[in-house]
Amino acid sequence: MAVIIIAIDALEYNLVEEFDCKNLKQEVYGKTDISEFSQPRTMVLWSSFLTGKNKEKEILSLGDKEMWHYRVNVNETFVSKFKNPKVIDLPGFSYDLEQHDKERILLKKFFEEEDKEKIKEEYNKLALEHHKKIKKEFEKALKENHDLIIAYFSVVDVIGHLNFGNKTLMKILYKEMDEIARKARELGKTVLVISDHGMKAIGKFGDHSDYGFWSLNRKIDLGKPKLTEFKDIILKKLKEDN
């Protein structure tokens, strides 16, 4: 039996509750503790999740631009303990750097140029097109013989940065992620939903919050686990029981 990990950037606990996303909440769910990190940075958090080690000092020392090129050694990660893993677009492992660069350019343009609505429309379109690509790849992987699938979905984070105050749009995105979780849950395999951090409102915009989200379709109460504890949780509580 496989372990399926749905890695959702910036999935916010309070919005999962507000929009009653039952498939994201699963049987047990809660917040993660990311207080060991000085900044809730995406590349740092996912690399630390994979390795079970705090990678903040190592990654931030590379600088803002170069850190996006960072890749963990697979032998440091829990991925290496599976026979036929599939890792889709995960920061620190298999991230689409070209996509990220396009998003950063548009985000910078939004705050520097006058035609903000046009830029935001282009930005949102770029994020949604990438999401469709990742969703298709994930659904294909679900039909294949993998003992571990990790699919990283960035759309909630990317669109949330400029649209967090648009509750209608955010609800659509959360319901979309809830439907993706439903399809994974239907397979009867172990499903972990995990975020690196959440998102808080800064006016109409969104910024990273200082906790994340987790859920399982198995009744294992993890309390408020550290992100760096998930390597052992996956290998000792999820993989071994499958």
Amino acid sitting at position 9: D
**What residue numbers bound the domain in which 130 lies?**
3-239
Domain harbouring 8, CATH code = 3.40.720.10
- Which residue, 25, 23, 26, 28, is CA-closest to 182? 23
- Residue in the structure block whose two tokens are 């935001």: 120
Contacts of residue 193, defined as CB under 8 A and 6 or more positions apart, other chains included, come to: 5, 6, 8, 11, 24, 26, 29, 181, 213, 214, 215, 216
The single residue listed with the structure tokens 């298709």 is 136
Q: Which residues is 149 bridged to in the sheet?
A: 4, 86
pLDDT in tens, 105-121: 998 998 888 888 999 99
In this prediction, residue 50 carries a pLDDT of 98
Which pLDDT belongs to residue 100? 87
Q: What per-residue confidence (pLDDT) applies to 64?
A: 86
Q: How far is CA 197 from CA 44, 56, 126, 144, in A?
A: 11, 14, 22, 30
pLDDT, position 114: 84
Query: Is the pTM higher than 0.75?
Result: yes
Low-confidence ranges of the chain (pLDDT < 70): 1, 240-242
Q: What's the structural domain count of the chain?
A: 1
**pLDDT reported for residue 126:** 95
Give 86-108 pLDDT, tens digit per residue. Answer: 999 999 999 998 998 899 899 89
